[in-house]
Structure 1
Amino acid sequence: MIGLIQNELMKIFTKASSWVYLVLIVVMVTGAGLIYDRFTDEPSEDWRQDLQMEIGQLEKDLTETPAEEQEWLHMQIAEKQMYLEEDINPNAESAWHYLNDIVSMMTTVVTLFAVIVCSANVASEFSDGTIKQLLIRPHRRWAILLSKYISVTLYSLLLLAVLMIMGYLAGLVLFGAGSFSEKMFEMSMDGQMNPENIVAVGDQVFLKLLYFLPSLVIVTAIAFMLSTLFKSQALAVGIGIFVLFFSSTVGNVILFVAEKYAWTKFLIFPHLDLTVYAYQDKILETITLPISLTILAVYYAVFMTVTFLYFQKRDISI
């Protein structure tokens, strides 16, 4: 099995596109850091005084603002006062803040590149006419397919590792190391800020990374299944990308109608983005992280079963 995996990894890295994706991640994360540094103000050492001045200005604005428009100003004042009370600099910058604010959003790019590679992995063997040479080897079909799946999973994890390592290095050069345990406010999904949202910035980075991993595994499993089901590489990749970009939209629609149609909460789409649990404990009133993980595990088992059973019985004629 190890030899098969090594062979599949060699196939992946002999393609120029595999290296291009890695280089693009490095360029994007570095470029985002430069842009972030250019268009943000340097953190002030007198940030407490600055906040007090801003609060004073907002309170002055309250006297000149119609009553029906004062709610937003009251919210802004309350938020700035919380920063003062909890001794948290709202404009703090460090490598960990950069990872939390910018790099964590780029995980979508990792998923995109992983989906492209996974969707093309098996389908390209049919498109290139190399599937027969692959299957005449003295290995069972399931072992060959498993080696392919493991290799694309390892490549996906490599993409994520490059993103995180280069993101930290870029943040280190541009913003300094900072403190792993420095406190920060993490907004809830509804945009509210309260003392329960105080977290250590380093902990939050790794929490988001941990919640992202199941989503990456599931989406790549879907892409790999599509690669097995379709002989056309373009069709497999196209459907894989479609699933990636429209899953969040479909998930939001399902969450909207879930109260009326309870069965929709068990569809896969609302659970594909587990990073929401970094901001709140529940997706819906009855859906918590263990339930989401259980639902994803069931779908994963179904996808893998379909993938391997179909490949076992598939006609390899070209």
Structure 2
Amino acid sequence: MFRLIKNEWIKIFKRPGTYVMIGLLVLMVAGIAGLTKYSDSKQQEQANWEQVVKAEIAGYQKQLKEDSYMTKDQKEYIKGQIKVNEYRLQNDVPADVKTTMWTFIEDNAQLLNFVGLFMIIIAAGSVASEYTWGTIKLLLIRPISRPKILLSKYLGVVLFGLFMMAVLFLLSSLIGAILFGTSGQSVHLAYEGGKVVEQSLVLHLAKLYLLQSISVFMMATMAFMISAAFRSSSLAIGIAMFLLFMGPSVTGLIAMKYDWAKYSLFANTDLLQFETGRVLVDGMTLGFSLTVLAVYFIIFHVLAFTIFSKRDVAA
């Protein structure tokens, strides 16, 4: 199995497009860093963090009073943010009012969507390209079972995704440290169990990247399934990219009228909704979403492995 995975890894990095993707990711991080540094340089003076925190508290309190359509989860989230800010003032825990390495890393978590696009492209071509290039017969005549071959291809896609996420995280850390320094808040404050707790900032960022990467891996898995089932990389890329951008919006519209929308894949891919209190459908929990995602994950793989194992490629 290790040799099969290694072979897939080599195939991925033999494609010129792979290095284009890495280069684009580097350029995006560098471009955002440059724009952020330029924006910071335009600020005449640094705002007092205590004044900023007090203003946030006032804004949250006003929102609680005036927004009558706020859900229970949203109210709990805002009350928690008020408690966190009050804790800062009481215990003299400064908040970052200018960009630091840590805030730069956190902001760049949004670039995981682009990592998702790159994973979709790799996943879509993983199986379909074997048919396009006519190498599928050479692959299947080996004394290796088809499920092992397909599993090695999927693990190659997963490893590529993890590699790109590592590049994003490490590059953001390096550029952030050089341009913005490593100073700033050293802990992350979270409101859990009715009280404010101090958490490791590194662990918080790792958790943030992990939660936002779930949708990336799910969409790549869907693209991989389509590639294995229909032998078309363009079809897999097109469907996966369309659903990646349109799926959450359409699901949000459906959820406004129908509770069954919570069983949709796209209602559960954004696990950060449980951190912010902006749950798509009332009653959804983190455990519920993980269960739904697990069901979809199994369905995708059952379809991919079943079709790939039974397909006749003699023609």
TM-score normalised over the length of structure 2: 0.80
In the alignment, is the contact (CA less than 8 A) between 2:46 and 2:98 conserved in 1? no
| Correspondence 1:229-248 to 2 at 5 A | 229-248=229-248
TM-score normalised over the length of structure 1: 0.79
Per-residue deviation at 1:91? 1.4
Count of paired positions: 289
For residue 233 of structure 2, what is the amino acid of its counterpart? Q
Q: Secondary structure at the match of 2:272?
A: helix
C-alpha distance 43-97 of structure 1, shift in aligned 2 (>3 A): farther
1:227 paired residue number? 227
Distance 2:188 2:26 in 1: 28
Does residue 292 in structure 1 map to residue 289 in structure 2? yes
Q: Secondary structure at the match of 1:34?
A: helix
Instruction: Tell me which structure has the larger Cα radius of gyration.
Output: 1
Q: Secondary structure at the match of 1:287?
A: coil
In the alignment, is the contact (CA less than 8 A) between 1:180 and 1:202 conserved in 2? no
| Correspondence 1:12-161 to 2 at 5 A | 12-40=12-40, 41=42, 44=45, 47=48, 85=89, 87=92, 88-89=94-95, 91-100=97-106, 102-161=107-166
In the alignment, is the contact (CA less than 8 A) between 1:123 and 1:236 conserved in 2? no
1:191 paired residue number? none
For residue 308 of structure 1, what is the amino acid of its counterpart? F
For residue 110 of structure 1, what is the amino acid of its counterpart? V
1:69-119 per-residue CA deviation (whole Å, 9 max, x = no partner) reads xx79xxxxxx9xx5884654451321111111x211111000011011101
Q: CA RMSD in A?
A: 3.4
Distance 2:44 2:271 in 1: 32
Does residue 280 in structure 1 map to residue 285 in structure 2? no
In the alignment, is the contact (CA less than 8 A) between 1:98 and 1:167 conserved in 2? yes
In the alignment, is the contact (CA less than 8 A) between 1:47 and 1:89 conserved in 2? no
Q: Secondary structure at the match of 1:142?
A: helix
Q: Secondary structure at the match of 2:142?
A: coil
In the alignment, is the contact (CA less than 8 A) between 1:281 and 1:289 conserved in 2? no
Q: Secondary structure at the match of 2:170?
A: helix
Per-residue deviation at 1:200? 6.7
In the alignment, is the contact (CA less than 8 A) between 1:97 and 1:201 conserved in 2? no
Distance 2:157 2:245 in 1: 20
The range that moved more, 229-238 or 289-298, is 229-238
2:181 paired residue number? 176
C-alpha distance 183-312 of structure 1, shift in aligned 2 (>3 A): closer
1:64 paired residue number? none
C-alpha distance 197-278 of structure 1, shift in aligned 2 (>3 A): farther
Per-residue deviation at 1:231? 2.1
| Correspondence 1:169-318 to 2 at 5 A | 169-179=174-184, 181-182=186-187, 202-257=202-257, 261-280=258-277, 282-317=279-314
Distance 2:109 2:202 in 1: 12
Distance 2:97 2:108 in 1: 17
Distance 2:44 2:102 in 1: 15
Distance 1:181 1:254 in 2: 41
Gaps of 5+ in 2: 59-65, 68-81
C-alpha distance 183-264 of structure 1, shift in aligned 2 (>3 A): closer
Distance 1:5 1:48 in 2: 50
Distance 1:44 1:229 in 2: 58
C-alpha distance 153-48 of structure 1, shift in aligned 2 (>3 A): closer
Distance 1:207 1:49 in 2: 27
For residue 178 of structure 2, what is the amino acid of its counterpart? V
C-alpha distance 222-151 of structure 1, shift in aligned 2 (>3 A): same
- Determine which of 166, 184, 198 is the counterpart of 2:171: 166
Per-residue deviation at 1:39? 1.4
In the alignment, is the contact (CA less than 8 A) between 1:116 and 1:240 conserved in 2? no
The range that moved more, 39-48 or 304-313, is 39-48
